[in-house]
């Protein structure tokens, strides 16, 4: 057996694999299912047959587990499945311990974004993350989408990364369009970024009271609990939230300036603004997006007829 073969299934390699799996989002997924995804068969099935069952064990202990005793071939299969899974779940993880890569710029995500026709200089402020992640990116002066990706890669090299930033990088690595669209205005089934989805992401970031007001203005029937929530909300707070959203919408409109005329036209002709936002594929977000866009892109008389926010912002 060659030295490389021994290294591939050594205690050192097992420690490397299980260390990576401690923070994997697939830690509780059945190994048989992981094996199917990477084209390797695992002989055991069951909800307890997950990476979590094995990764706390040392290499020698692993070989004494029932079903693996005297079956080094199964230990190798287990390692192969987990190793191949990591290539998908943590595509940037292999750089963590590779000294020669530390001084080189990894271009994996550059190539992915180019293929998706996503501009690398898209402003990071227009991406959608949790408040904590957004504050972290701001504190690190992250300005563009590509800088956001590189920042995430650097965190992965030096610390455990979780949350929505890891989710975003994984969505790009897997080319998971649904997951990508929760963070950037990517339209599923097409390429590039789009104004409708960008406005939708602004709406997703609004506080609950402001979202409920937009829904009510848009004619959506609220539940009793939602009506109580809205009734107890401060109009000043909603006004402040809306001003910030419209300021952001102005900047988004400048970025997507080529698409703005088509949106404006839906408010000035017999076109339907509802149809413009249908690609978001979320009825409530679509309705909020229509009402938010109306305050920015509709004719003045239509803005002023949009409730108290229309009277405030329709000038």
Local confidence band at 156 (pLDDT 50, 70, 90 cut-offs): low
Local confidence band at 100 (pLDDT 50, 70, 90 cut-offs): very low
Q: What per-residue confidence (pLDDT) applies to 67? A: 87
Q: What per-residue confidence (pLDDT) applies to 287? A: 97
Greater confidence (103 vs 231) lies with 231
What percent of the chain shows pLDDT beyond 90?
Answer: 49
Whole-structure pTM value: 0.68
The mean predicted confidence, pLDDT, of the chain is 84
Q: What per-residue confidence (pLDDT) applies to 307? A: 55
Mind listing the pLDDT tens digit for each residue in 295-305? 999 887 666 55
Mind listing the pLDDT tens digit for each residue in 236-258? 999 999 999 999 999 999 999 99
Q: What per-residue confidence (pLDDT) applies to 25? A: 64
Please give the structure tokens belonging to residue 36.
């199917």
Mind listing the pLDDT tens digit for each residue in 128-149? 999 989 998 999 999 999 999 9
The domains of the chain are located at: 3-89, 105-180, 195-313
Angle value at C-alpha 251, between 248 and 253, nearest 5 degrees: 110
Mind listing the pLDDT tens digit for each residue in 105-124? 457 788 889 989 999 999 99
Residue 214 has pLDDT above 90, yes or no: yes
Angle value at C-alpha 164, between 96 and 108, nearest 5 degrees: 45
Angle value at C-alpha 238, between 233 and 244, nearest 5 degrees: 155
Residue 37 has pLDDT above 60, yes or no: yes
Backbone phi and psi for residue 123, each to the nearest 5 degrees, phi listed first: -60, 130
Greater confidence (81 vs 96) lies with 81
Distance of alpha carbon 260 from alpha carbon 125, whole angstroms: 19
Mind listing the pLDDT tens digit for each residue in 22-34? 766 677 788 988 8
């Amino acid at each position: 057996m060659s030295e490389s073969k021994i290294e591939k299934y050594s205690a050192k390699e097992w420690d490397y694999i299980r260390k990576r799996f401690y923070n994997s989002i697939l830690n509780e997924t059945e190994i048989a299912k992981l094996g199917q995804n990477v084209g390797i068969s695992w002989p055991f099935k069951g909800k307890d047959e997950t990476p979590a069952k094995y990764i706390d064990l040392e290499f020698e202990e692993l070989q004494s587990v029932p079903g693996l005793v005297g079956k080094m071939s199964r230990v190798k299969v287990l390692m192969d499945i987990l190793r191949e899974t990591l290539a998908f779940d943590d595509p940037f993880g292999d750089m963590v311990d590779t000294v020669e890569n530390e001084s080189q710029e990894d271009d994996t995500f550059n190539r992915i974004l180019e293929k998706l026709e996503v501009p690398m200089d898209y402003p990071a402020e227009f991406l959608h993350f949790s408040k904590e992640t957004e504050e972290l990116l701001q504190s690190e002066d992250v300005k563009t989408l590509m800088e956001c990706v590189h920042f995430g890669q650097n965190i992965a090299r030096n610390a455990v990364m979780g949350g929505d930033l890891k989710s975003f990088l994984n969505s790009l690595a897997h080319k998971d369009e649904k997951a990508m669209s929760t963070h950037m205005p990517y339209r599923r089934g097409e390429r590039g970024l789009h104004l409708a989805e960008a406005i939708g992401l602004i709406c997703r970031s609004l506080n609950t009271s402001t979202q409920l007001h937009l829904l009510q203005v848009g004619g959506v029937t609220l539940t009793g609990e939602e009506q109580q929530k809205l009734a107890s909300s401060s109009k000043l707070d909603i006004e402040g939230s809306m001003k910030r959203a419209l300021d952001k919408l102005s900047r988004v409109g400048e970025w997507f300036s080529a698409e703005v005329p088509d949106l404006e036209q839906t408010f000035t002709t017999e076109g339907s603004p509802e149809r413009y936002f249908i690609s978001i594929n979320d009825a409530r977000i679509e309705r909020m997006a229509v009402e938010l866009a109306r305050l920015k892109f509709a004719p003045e008389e239509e803005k002023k007829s949009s409730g108290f926010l229309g009277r405030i912002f329709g000038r």
